[in-house]
């Protein structure tokens, strides 16, 4: 069984401030972890993924995430928020072949000028 | 290369009506999925097709049926629509089912309202 918890359904930051979106997971097998972004009225796009090659994963648009097994976390960060980062972000987890992708409830990021 | 396409983009139904949502992918992916997205609940899997010729229930299959018409196309049917099925529906595809190749590519969504 696997599950994902995203702490904070809404996060607001000022432009230029650090972005931190939290994701904790549970999985009975070594996980594969993903962050997706959804801009208004669009489908989901992959930001980055962890597949056990490296614990710090860099994605598109300056985002990165660190896999911490001891904390069962995969938090998403960006050093400096931009207005264009305003969107909804989803964390997702999967195990080995045969395990479905399970999504968290999503975090809506708002960026204030 | 269009990726994943969905039709229609918007639909309004009356309770009890039926309709089929269409999805096609041109990436030669083996696996396809239907999700529904509701506020605060993330995406929930309705049905999936791990490979051509197979379909399986996901987390919320009640009230829906699917058909994997061929490798490219995967349709979702609502036989008798209910207001609880008002949602945004996303189709997705992936190279394989499970593991690191599970990265899924999403269509733009269908916004369905059932009155």
With a cut of 70, say whether residue A4 has pLDDT above it.
yes
Closest-approach residue (CA) in chain A for B40: A105
Judge: B45–A46 Cβ closer than 8 Å, yes or no: no
Judge: B42–A105 Cβ closer than 8 Å, yes or no: yes
Show the CA angle centred on residue B55, arms to residues B52 and B58, nearest 5°.
140
Judge: A105–B97 Cβ closer than 8 Å, yes or no: no
Task: Look at residue B15 and give its three-state secondary structure.
Answer: coil
* Interacting residues of B97 by C-beta distance below 8 A, sequence separation 6+: A97, A98, B30, B31, B48, B50, B51
Band the pLDDT of A99: cuts 50, 70, 90: low
The percent of residues in chain A predicted with pLDDT above 90, rounded, is 69
Quick one: which of A93, A113, A102, A103 has its CA closest to A12? A113
**pLDDT digit string (tens) for chain B, length 115 residues:** 789 999 999 999 999 999 999 999 999 999 999 999 998 788 999 999 988 889 999 989 999 999 999 999 999 999 999 999 999 999 999 987 766 666 889 999 999 999 9
With a cut of 70, say whether residue A70 has pLDDT above it.
yes
B28-55 tens-digit pLDDT? 999 999 999 998 788 999 999 988 889 9
| Most A-contacting residue of B59, B100, B105 (CB-CB within 10 A), to test interface | B100
Q: What is the pLDDT of residue A77?
A: 98
Q: What is the pLDDT of residue A95?
A: 66
Structure tokens at A93: 């987890």
Structure tokens at B11: 């639909």
Q: What is the pLDDT of residue B101?
A: 61
Asked if A58 and A67 touch (Cβ cutoff 8 Å), the reply is no
Judge: A34–B58 Cβ closer than 8 Å, yes or no: no
Rounded to the nearest integer, the mean pLDDT of chain A is: 90
Band the pLDDT of A97: cuts 50, 70, 90: low
With a cut of 90, say whether residue A98 has pLDDT above it.
no
For residue A34, which residues of chain B lie inside 8 Å, CB to CB?
A: 103
- Comparing CB atoms, the residue among A9, A32, A41 nearest residue B100 is A32
Q: What is the pLDDT of residue A96?
A: 56
Quick one: which of B11, B4, B2 has its CA closest to B111? B11
Judge: B4–A100 Cβ closer than 8 Å, yes or no: no
CA distance A14 to chain B (A): 23
3-state helix, strand, coil in chain A (%, to 5): 5, 55, 40
């Amino acid at each position: 069984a696997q599950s994902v918890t995203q702490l904070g359904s809404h996060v607001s930051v000022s432009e230029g401030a650090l972005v931190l979106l939290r994701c904790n997971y549970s999985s009975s097998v070594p996980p594969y972890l993903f962050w997706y972004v959804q801009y208004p009225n669009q489908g989901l796009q992959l930001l980055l993924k962890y597949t056990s090659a490296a614990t710090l994963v860099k994605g598109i648009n300056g985002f990165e995430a660190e896999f911490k097994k001891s904390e069962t976390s995969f938090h998403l960060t960006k050093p400096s928020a931009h207005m264009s980062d305003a969107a909804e972000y989803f964390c997702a987890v999967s195990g080995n072949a045969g395990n479905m992708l399970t999504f968290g409830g999503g975090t809506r990021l708002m960026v204030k000028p | 290369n269009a990726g994943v396409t969905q039709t229609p983009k918007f639909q309004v139904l009356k309770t009890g009506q039926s309709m089929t949502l269409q999805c096609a992918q041109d990436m030669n992916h083996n696996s396809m999925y239907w999700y529904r997205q509701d506020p605060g609940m993330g995406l929930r899997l309705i049905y999936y097709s791990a490979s051509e010729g197979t379909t399986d229930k996901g987390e919320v299959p009640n009230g829906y049926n699917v058909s994997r018409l061929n490798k490219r196309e995967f349709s979702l049917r609502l036989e008798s629509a209910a207001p609880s099925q008002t949602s945004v529906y996303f189709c997705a595809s992936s190279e394989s089912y499970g593991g690191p190749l599970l990265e899924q590519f999403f269509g733009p969504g269908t916004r369905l309202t059932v009155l």
